[in-house]
Amino acid sequence: MKLALYQGPATCGDIEAGFNRLQTRLSAAAMAGASMAVFSELFLPGYNLPDLHRSLAQPLGGQWCQRLSDLAANAGCGLTVGWTELDGENVYNAATAFGTRGEILGHYRKIQLFGPMEKASFAFGERYTTFDFCGRKTAILICYDIEFPQHCRALADRGVSLVLVPTANPRRFEHVSHAFVPSRAAEAGLTIAYANYCGPEGDITFGGKSLIAGPDGKALASAGTGETLLVADLAPVSDIPWDLLSRQDQDYREGKFQ
């Protein structure tokens, strides 16, 4: 399968501009042969806009979801995107994956909220979500989640081989793209698609450096700091020489060592 990843500027609260960009980039991904396109964290309504997180949040199955479903169905390309979800009194930093017919494949709420702003805006997610897509067991994590090897190991233990990660990573944290994401992929034998923003949003400037890392830790595709649509062909894990794949799950010696 081919996987696309869009790195671009933040929506900055302009919902219609965000949907227009989703439509054009998703269509471009479909024309390139991608089965799924991944967009950034809180693409709707924007990441660094805490005043809007609650006021614009929508329920799962609401108007935003219907429009996102229609975009995926019309393009014939899956879509994974971050947005603010309202459920009762709680607001979640969420992401949803839609299939090529517009069906919801998986819905996820961020487990590891980062920093004071996120913890003030959102409730914590409490569970993983997995689904089958193009013959691969797939999961969603969001931004800070991927920095924890425990989550990647837990997903790999559930048979996951592909993790889709909408993110909003600022400048000065490029080590996440350079070190953490390839390490998480190699440690757990995963393919990880890490879709960041680029450019400013309020007092944050995002660092770009989106990438798709394979289970040997190598980048299948990577971006710089500008607007980019990445498309990569995900080869079967069996195509990677066995001695380049981690055996940590088999070789780890558990115990108390001095």
Residues assigned a catalytic role? 41, 110, 143
Query: How many CB atoms within 10 Å of residue 49?
Result: 20
Residue type, 36: M
Cα–Cα distance measured from residue 205 to residue 220, given in angstroms and rounded to the nearest whole number? 25
Q: Quote the strand ranges of the chain, DSSP E.
A: 2-7, 36-38, 78-87, 90-98, 104-109, 130-133, 136-140, 162-166, 191-195, 198-201, 204-207, 211-213, 219-222, 228-233
Tokens of 157: 């233990």
Cα–Cα distance measured from residue 149 to residue 233, given in angstroms and rounded to the nearest whole number? 25
Alpha-carbon torsion (250, 125, 204, 3), positive or negative: positive
